[in-house]
Structure formats: structure tokens, C-alpha cells
Structure 1
Amino acid sequence: MLTLIILLFPVLAALLVLAVRGQQAKQIAFIAALIELGLAGYAFFSFVPDANSQFGFDYPWLAQGTIRFTAGIDGVSLLLVVLTALLTPLIILSAFRHTYDRPSVFYALILFMEAALLGVFTARDAFLFYLYFEAALLPVYFLAALWGGENRIPVTFKFFVYTIFGSLFMLVALVYLYFKTGTPAGLHSSAITALYNLNLSPTEQSWIFWAFFIAFAIKMPVFPFHTWQPDTYVESPTPATMLLAGIMLKMGVYGVIRLMLPIVPEGVQTWGMTALVLSVIGIVYGAIIAIRQRDMKRLIAYSSFSHVGLMAAGVFTLSLNGVQGALVQMLAHGINVVGMFFVADIIASRTSTRLIDQMGGITRYTPKLTVYFMILLLGSVALPLTNGFVGEFLLLSGVFEYNNILGAVAGLTIIFGAVYMLRLFQKTMFGKTTPLTEGFNDVSGSESWVFIPLCIMVFWIGMVPNSFLKLTEPAVANLLQFVK
């Protein structure tokens, strides 16, 4: 029942926030998000490491009970539930710096988004997964369309069309799989575990592989399905960008792990190399484009695209290291990218520009911001003893075991990542001050309270990775048995 409470509470909180007028909406939303974090924390510390789903519920829903409203938390979903619950209050707190029109709607949309994301990560029915997968699109679409930049309408429309188009392929595949299940009584099932046990022909698996892959590749995104991402990240308000980069893109990687690997193992064996090559191309392409960026927010957007390519590549190695690395890297990346976007937002709001070459010398006024920025940067470039190192080490070892050449190319992410991140730090924080950075104000108390939990997580994951890996390993091993 804990999972049901985790899913319903943000929805009820969002409805309450909608009923509130004025700036009180943000305080109520923040308190609700903290309560949700407490529920997720209880699940984390109460979780027993094994392959089974825990804290679940199961109720009849549609089609005479064959499509069910059922959800639970296993090792694969646990880290993403914790990530969503951790980042949401920090994203809400980071928004306190700005005054948004219709604050009740703005903060309610964030809570609705949280509920939909949690639904994706906990659903145990394929159609419930699809429902939440689509529901997560709507709040972030309205956040970007209503509070975004000057080009928000065409950019968000492109984002909406891309993601809806990709999801239709997944829906067709799920309907087909539903009718492939059945009992002697003629009943079908959309339970995800029932889909795991289907006996599909190689041709069927190939077609379903691509239907799933297109949907998930757009969401992550993977090259060449990424063209919606940079503009959407840049034009969206920073809280929406944080939701997109920190949590929403993880739905694609999670979908590959949860659905593709166990349902179409032969399809993955056949086409996995193609998907892995596309992922590695995205790693290098995104990093090179990031090096050339002058806009802070766009640089971080391309860095996120590069990092998610490595996560996807690790998953398609079909190895324990690769999938484990992807899970812990999703957690680490969400923490780092939200922190980096918050740094960019602070600098942009104080200087009225996001252009890197118009900045410099900020560090002489901002000892606290410098420390936070550097910690998050080191996590992003995978320095040992930081969160980024654990995931990247497991991912690269998995890719190397799969193919040495692809592993060597994917390893360029370490070099390129250091180049564009250290360049960003050097150009903004060091050197001579400019008229825009003269007298730059250091972070305030509320801003520090966003950074402090993120920095703690950078070192917790980096120094004690087994506290997370031991929770995921049984469930990952259970899923991988379908592809061996």
C-alpha cells in the first residue's frame, strides 16, 4: 500500500495547491514535496534487497480485470523513485527565487509531473505504464509553453509532436503483445510479468524492438532522435528544464530496462549493436557540440545528451555492469544536472545573460557558489570518490567487455566532459571581471539549501556506492536472465 500512497499523495497535494491563491502555493507545494520525500525515504530504508516487487497494490481496472491498476517498487525502480522524490522539493525550492504568474498552477503542475513520473517507475501493468508515460508529458509541456522563453510555442510544439509520435509506436506494440497473451478461457493480460513469458518469433521481436526503441530513444534522447532536446531545455523555465533533464529523460532508459530487455531478448540481441552504435555516436556528438557552445544552458543540455548516450550504451551491453551502471548513473546524473542548471540560472539571473564569453571573475565575490559549482562539476566529470565516477566506471567497463572499439570511443566522454565543464568553470568563475559580473552576489540561504543536499549526494554515492548497488543487483540479475 505504500506505493499507492506515494502515487496518490502528489495528486492530492497538487489539487490542494490549485485551490490556493497567491504565493502561499509554493510553500504548500514545497511541504507536500518534502512529505513525499519522507515516504520515498521510508521505502528506501525499508527495502529488502531481492528481485521481488515490494510495497505494492493490485486492483482491477479495465477489460474485465485483465488490465489492472497495479504498482510496486523493486530494485530497478527504487533508485528512480528516490531520485524523483529527492529532486522535486529541491526544484520547487529553487523556483522560490522567481515570481511566476499563476503560482498555484505552476507549482501544481510540478506536483502532477512528480506523480506521473513515479507512476512510470512503479507501474506493473503495461497499459498503466503507458498511461503514466504519456501523462508525464502534459505538465512539462504546459510549464514550458506558459512560462518559457520567446520561442516557447514552436519549440514546445515540436517537443510534444516528437514524444507523442514516438509513444504511438509503443502503444501499437503493447496492444499487439496484449493480444498475444491469453489463457484457455480466452482472457488476456497486460501485466508486465506476463509479457516477459511470451514466446515471440524473431520477426515479431524485431518489429517490437523498433517500436519500443523509437519511443524510448526520443524520450532519452538518443542520436538521431535528439533534435527536440536542446531548444526545449533552453526555452523552458529552469524548473521545467530540471524536471526534463533530471528525471524525465530517465523514463526512456528505464523503459529499455523494464520492457525491452525481458520482452524482446532476441530482438535486443539482433539489433542491440545498432542501438549501441547510435548511443556511442550521441556520446561523442553531444560532447563535441557542448564544447562549442557559448550559452551556458545549451552547453549543459548537450552535456546531458552526451551522458544519456553512455547510459543507453551500457544497457544494450546486456551485462550486469552495464545495467547497474546505468541505474546508478541515472541517479548521479539527475543530481548533477539539476545542480548545474541551478548554477546556470543563478548566474544568468544576476548577470542578465547566459553567454559564457560575457562573464568572468565571479569567484572573487562568491566563495560559496564556487565550492558548490566545483563539487557538482567534479561529479559531472566523474572524478573518483564522486557520484559520476561509479556509474561511468561500470558503464565503460560494460561497453569495453562488449566491444573494445566502442568502449574506447565511449571513453572519450571522460576527456570531452572535462574539456567543456572546466572551460565553463574557467570562463565564468575565473579571469577578469566584466561589467556584468562586477559585484556579483554570493548564494543566499535558500539557494544554499538547494545545493547542500545535492553536494551531500555527490559524495555519498561516490564514497559508499554499495549502499545503492546492493539494492538494485537482485532485480537487475532477474531481468537479465531473460536475455541470456
Structure 2
Amino acid sequence: MTVSILIFLPVLAALAVLLFKNETAKHAALFFSVIELAIAGVFLAKFVPDASIQFEVEAPWIPQIGAYFNAGIDGISMVMVLLTTVLIPLIILTTYKHQYKNANVFYALILFMQAGMLVVFTALDGFLFYVGWEAALIPIYFICSLWGGENRIRITIKFFIYTFAGSLFMLLAIIYMYFQSAGQTYDLHEFYASAALTKDHQGLVFWAFFLAFAIKMPLFPFHTWQPDTYTEAPSAGTMMLAGIMLKMGIYGVIRWMIPIAPVGFITWQHLIMVLAVIGVVYASIIAFKQTDGKRLVAYSSIAHVGLIAAGIFAWNSQGLQGAMIQMISHGINVVGMFFIWDIISTRLGTRNIGQLGGIAKVAPQFSIAFLIIVLGTVALPLTNGFIGEFLLLNSVYQFNIWFAAVAGLTIIFGAVYMLRMYKNVMQGTTNELTATFADIHGSEKLVLGIICILIIGLGIYPQPILHISAAAVENLIHTVKISGKF
């Protein structure tokens, strides 16, 4: 049993979904995504939480250029596979109250995108990694441009140009590493072994990878495409972008950039830490001023990603473990938060926080789910956001106490603007707009119920996720320290 089944099943499922229409396409997409989740569960049950690569597939692909279809799973990849396969069925469920023109194409694109992201999270070949990286971009481009808001074309083109331009720098780095590797191969571990490049060359490789990953995350100051794209994209597209796709950039930093160019990483570590911490404060301040709920969540996401980046660049076990569980937690929370705003905008036709109020009085179940998601987002103890942010701040503290003090503002700021948003939307008296707000039911209740269970469950007992990635994280840190000589 190899990882190829996880990669190719969504592709075959997408082709099958294209044959269906309307409601049938929706049900088929959900069915196939649940099957994919079940297969991921089988992989998890058979997974041994050590530092080895498991379920590996290696087959000649384009031998003329040295490219192999080489993919496998270790503890770091396993966490990302779980994130992807858990969130895709939930995202499809969030669309059940919507009607989409050419629904079969819409759901097929979601499944194609899932396949591309799984390639990124499991690739052990640089060329395959790049192909998966671009393959995940194409479906989301069409999802945003065909089913997005009024300004979707302009915003989506900006998003595509930003991310594609960054990808080209990464491609150059991959090609360069190919020629530097023994035997001229794209194999990831051969790239690691080529870490004896000169300091200047490693610096160039580091920045080429960094541009691609920083844009995808996004990290300050490469974030300008994000708020507009998140706002204009259809809700399912926003959830795909924020819940899973931005983690491709974080994963790329951990798996590819730092281990391949450890000396470049050491050289530029402080600068990137400064950018990450600035992003935390900058995005939080901008979030204070937002009146559009979806846009507020978009800036909140930038702040959280900034803290994850800071924890990673501190480069210790607490930081990487914190990043792993925080990627899971952020994915769950941000999907829940965007679904909350999807429900509000669908019922009331607005996302303007100032026009709302008193919804808790007419929709108590909705208000409870909303509050649990908010508390997870602001990292209240015993919610999923707490352990990740605690480990990340601990990591940054070990690196520099002043960086930790500034980065910790994300918790304070986040609590202020998130709780203020909740108060303005849910508390107070109802008005003509909110008085008839209907409480959640059907698929809405199912999705929010699952999300709330995950928020509380991971908050109370996060050890299973930490255990999966622990050995792989320690092995990677050791590898980088040896090759980087620090």
C-alpha cells in the first residue's frame, strides 16, 4: 500500500464527478472525499511514528530529465495529509445550502486541488513537488474567477500573478539544485546532501525558495494579495485557501527551504524573524479597523501565520511541534470562522459588522458554535489554539525574549478584535435585519458540530498529533544542525 492511492483517488473522483449534474455532483464529491478520509485513516492506523519515510512509491516518470514519481509519508507529512483529508469533506458540506452553476465542474476542481495539495505534502522529488505546487494553483484560480464576487477577475489575476511569479523562483532553485546534486537528480535527500554549497549560493537558493513560500503563506510584506482574494473568493474557495493551501508554504519552509539551504537560513534568520513579528502586529492592527467580517478573519489569518513563521525560524523542537499542531488548529478554526460568515451573509445579505447585532437571542445554537470557534481562534486554554500558540511563543522566547514579547501581542490583539466582533454581531438587541435570523440546521449543524468537537478535543488532548510528528521533527532539526554547523 503506497501513497499513490491517496494522490490518484481524488483525480479519478474529480473525473467521475464531472459526469454528474447539480445535486448528484455534490453528493458524489462528498462521497469520494469521505472515502479519501477513510483511506487516510488506514494509513494513520498503519503509520509508525518514527523518522522513517513510509508508504513510499518510486517509479520512473520522465527519466530524460531525471524526474521520478517519488512520494512518501513521514510524521510531518502525515499531519498535513490528515489536515487535508479532514477539511475537504467539511468544506464540501459547507456548500450544501448553495446552488452553483456547473456544479460538477466546481466540485471536480475541489477534488483536483486536493490531489495537488497531497502531492505537495508527500513529494520526495523536487520536480514532482513543483508540479503539485502548480497543480493546486490552477483549480483555485478557476474556482475564484468563475464563482467569486464582483471584483473576482481583477483580484484573481493579481493572486495568480503573485503566486506564479514566486513559483518561478522556486523552479529556478530546484533546477539549480538538480545540477548541484550527485548524479543530477531531483531527490529531496540528495538535495539535503548538497548543503555544502558556498554561503553565497545557499543564500540565493534560500531566497528563491523563500519568495515562493512567503507569498503562499502569506508572510509580510508579501501578503497584499490575500485579503482581497479571501474576500472575493466563494466561501468554499476561501476555506481551501486559508484552511489548507497556505500550509503548503509553511510545509515548504520546513521540508524544503531550511534543510536544503541551512547556511542561507542561518544568515537570514534574524531578518525573517523580524518580518514575521512585524506581520503579527501589522495584521492585528489592520484587523481592528475592519467592518467586513470575512476581511477581518483574513487579516487575523495573516497574524496567526506570522506567529507560526516566527516559531519555525526560531528552529527548535518546540517551534516546529507548535507549527505542526497550529497548522491543524488554524485550519479547523479558520474554516469554521469563514463558514460562520458564509451563513450570516447568505441569510442576511451582508457581512458588515455594524449592521448586525442580537443574533444570539434568535439563534442560540449558532451563537454557541460561533463562540467556541472564536475561543479556539483566540487560544483560550482547553481549546485547540492554545497548545500551538504556547509552544510557538516558547520557541520564540528561546530565540529572543523581545521577539517573544512582541509576537505575544497576537494573543492579546486577537482576543480584543475577535471578542469585540462577536459582541457586535451576536449580543445586544436585534434589529430589522437580524430579528428573523434562522438558527442552524441540517448540514450547517453537522459541520459546526464537528468543528466544535475538534476544537475542544484537540484542546483537551493534543498529544496524538504531537506524537505523530515528534520523531520526524527531531530528525529534521538534527539534519539541519549538522549540515548548517550550528
What TM-score, normalized by structure 1, do the two folds share?
A: 0.98
Residue of structure 2 equivalent to 1:269: 266
Residue of structure 1 equivalent to 2:66: 66
Preserved CA contact (<8 Å) 2:81 2:121: yes
Distance in 2 separating the partners of 1:348 and 1:65: 50
Of 200, 223, 226, which residue of structure 2 is paired with 1:229?
226
Distance in 2 separating the partners of 1:50 and 1:64: 34
Deviation at 1:64, TM superposition (A): 4.1
Distance 1:65 1:210, change over 3 A: closer
Distance in 1 separating the partners of 2:369 and 2:42: 28
Between 448-457 and 23-32, report the one with greater CA deviation: 448-457
Aligned-pair identity in percent equals 55
Preserved CA contact (<8 Å) 2:75 2:469: yes
Preserved CA contact (<8 Å) 1:314 1:396: yes
Distance in 1 separating the partners of 2:210 and 2:298: 22
Map 1:11-26 → 2, pairs under 5 A: 11-26=11-26
Preserved CA contact (<8 Å) 1:286 1:305: yes
Deviation at 1:58, TM superposition (A): 0.7
Give per-residue Cα distances to partners, 1:183-216, cap 9 Å, x unaligned: xxxx311110110011211111111111111110
Deviation at 1:22, TM superposition (A): 2.9
Distance in 1 separating the partners of 2:103 and 2:424: 35
Give per-residue Cα distances to partners, 1:168-189, cap 9 Å, x unaligned: 100001000000012xxxx311
Distance in 1 separating the partners of 2:264 and 2:471: 24
Distance in 1 separating the partners of 2:474 and 2:251: 15
Matching of residue 377 in structure 1 with residue 374 in structure 2: yes
Residue of structure 2 equivalent to 1:189: 185
Preserved CA contact (<8 Å) 2:143 2:234: yes
Preserved CA contact (<8 Å) 1:261 1:479: no
Distance in 2 separating the partners of 1:194 and 1:57: 17
Residue of structure 1 equivalent to 2:108: 108
Letter in 1 for 2:176: Y
Letter in 2 for 1:6: L
Distance in 2 separating the partners of 1:467 and 1:89: 21
Q: Segments of 4+ in structure 1 off by > 2 A?
A: 63-66
Preserved CA contact (<8 Å) 2:206 2:258: no
Residue of structure 2 equivalent to 1:2: 2
Residue of structure 2 equivalent to 1:124: 124
Aligned-pair RMSD on alpha carbons? 0.9
Residue of structure 2 equivalent to 1:84: 84
Deviation at 1:482, TM superposition (A): 2.6
Residue of structure 1 equivalent to 2:328: 331
Residue of structure 2 equivalent to 1:465: 462
Deviation at 1:65, TM superposition (A): 7.6
Map 1:431-470 → 2, pairs under 5 A: 431-470=428-467
Give per-residue Cα distances to partners, 1:136-181, cap 9 Å, x unaligned: 1011110000000000000000000000000110000100000001
Deviation at 1:70, TM superposition (A): 1.0
Letter in 2 for 1:55: F
Map 1:42-61 → 2, pairs under 5 A: 42-61=42-61
Letter in 2 for 1:48: V
Preserved CA contact (<8 Å) 1:261 1:482: no
SS of structure 1 residue aligned to 2:211: helix
What TM-score, normalized by structure 2, do the two folds share?
A: 0.98
Distance in 2 separating the partners of 1:95 and 1:298: 20
SS of structure 2 residue aligned to 1:332: helix
SS of structure 2 residue aligned to 1:57: strand
Distance in 1 separating the partners of 2:63 and 2:310: 37
Residue of structure 1 equivalent to 2:244: 247
Letter in 2 for 1:131: V
Matching of residue 414 in structure 1 with residue 404 in structure 2: no
Give per-residue Cα distances to partners, 1:357-380, cap 9 Å, x unaligned: 000000011111111111111110
SS of structure 2 residue aligned to 1:124: coil
Preserved CA contact (<8 Å) 1:50 1:475: yes
Q: How many residues align?
A: 480
Distance in 2 separating the partners of 1:376 and 1:126: 37
Of 290, 293, 298, which residue of structure 1 is paired with 2:295?
298
Distance in 2 separating the partners of 1:413 and 1:474: 29
Letter in 1 for 2:462: P
Instruction: Give ranges in structure 1 of 5+ residues lacking alignment.
Output: none
Distance in 2 separating the partners of 1:2 and 1:433: 55
Between 431-440 and 351-360, report the one with greater CA deviation: 431-440
Give per-residue Cα distances to partners, 1:408-455, cap 9 Å, x unaligned: 000000100001110110000001112110121000121111112211
Give per-residue Cα distances to partners, 1:72-93, cap 9 Å, x unaligned: 1111111111111011011111
SS of structure 2 residue aligned to 1:98: coil
